Amino acid sequence: MRPDEEMVAGAGHGWQSGVVVLDRLTRISLRVGLRVLGVLATLAGLALVCQYQTGYPLRRTLHFPSALMRSEGGAAFSVSMSKFKNNYPWPVHRLSTVLESGKPLKIAASSSERVRESAMGAYAFSPKRIWIATSDASDPCTNGRDYSAVLPITISPSWFMAGRGPLVLGLAMVLWPLWLVLARGVRAAARSIFRLATNVREWLWRSWRRAMSQKASLFERFMVGAITSAAGGRPF
């Protein structure tokens, strides 16, 4: 081979090697990218489902200045949400609560009338106001305690249903390799069981033939006789 032909052949071989390496890198990158995408989709789906069901991790806290509280008769007081309208979503999350000096009030009332009836430790949310009754029926404007509302970010049912899609897809992308490994293990176990059954069947056939030729041991004759009787007179 002439020197120029050797150079061309070497260049061709190097080009083929480069293509093989690039193909392998592309496959590895694709697999890693799919795994990362699956993990991100799973986390996004879990975040939406968790936010919808538990109100975590996204929530905001609104503090009520005592000057904004208004007596509503009896032990009931209310505070207007007009100054907090940008941070006061309606309807509020079902796990929203009111805190009194960091401790949640115990009674979640369904309306302002229920707050008046409960008298102590009750709260309710309305589109424009938050209603409270302190834990000891005192005046929140003068008792020196801090009052605030914890409002989880509300996720609509449609977003909740949409979040289940990425969750299922992400779990499928992450668990698919595990499923392949499990399927291979099941197939290997099935082949091993089949081979074992085949070996047992062959041993029984050989033992039966030996028993018929009077060359088998006493144990083999006993086992083959028992199995033959159980099989209805057939060796297998």
pTM for the structure as a whole: 0.53
pLDDT value, residue 118: 78
pLDDT mean over 98-102:
92
In sequence order, what are the beta bridge partners of 150? 61, 97
Q: What's the whole-number average pLDDT of the chain?
A: 75
How much is the average pLDDT of 114-121?
A: 83
Output the pLDDT for position 10. Answer: 45
Identify whether the C-beta of residue 58 lies closer than 8 Å to the C-beta of residue 102: no
Domain chopping of the chain, boundaries:
3-55+160-171, 59-152, 175-230
The answer to whether 227 touches 219, Cβ cutoff 8 Å, is no
State the pLDDT confidence band at 9, using cuts at 50, 70 and 90.
very low
Query: Look-up: residue for tokens 């060796």?
Result: 235
44 membership: H or E segment, kind and range: helix 3-54
The string of pLDDT tens digits covering residues 22-80 is: 667 677 666 677 677 767 777 777 777 777 777 777 888 889 888 888 998 888 999 98
Mean pLDDT, to the nearest integer, of 79-94?
A: 81
Q: What proportion of the chain, given as a percentage, has pLDDT over 70?
A: 64
Q: What is the pLDDT of residue 29?
A: 67
Q: List the one residue out of 137, 114, 134 whose CA is nearest residue 124.
A: 114
Phi, psi of 63 (to 5 degrees): -95, 135
pLDDT at 224: 61
Quote the tokens at residue 85.
């309208």
SS3 at position 57: coil
Whether the predicted pLDDT of 192 surpasses 80: yes
pLDDT category of residue 81 using cuts at 50, 70 and 90: confident
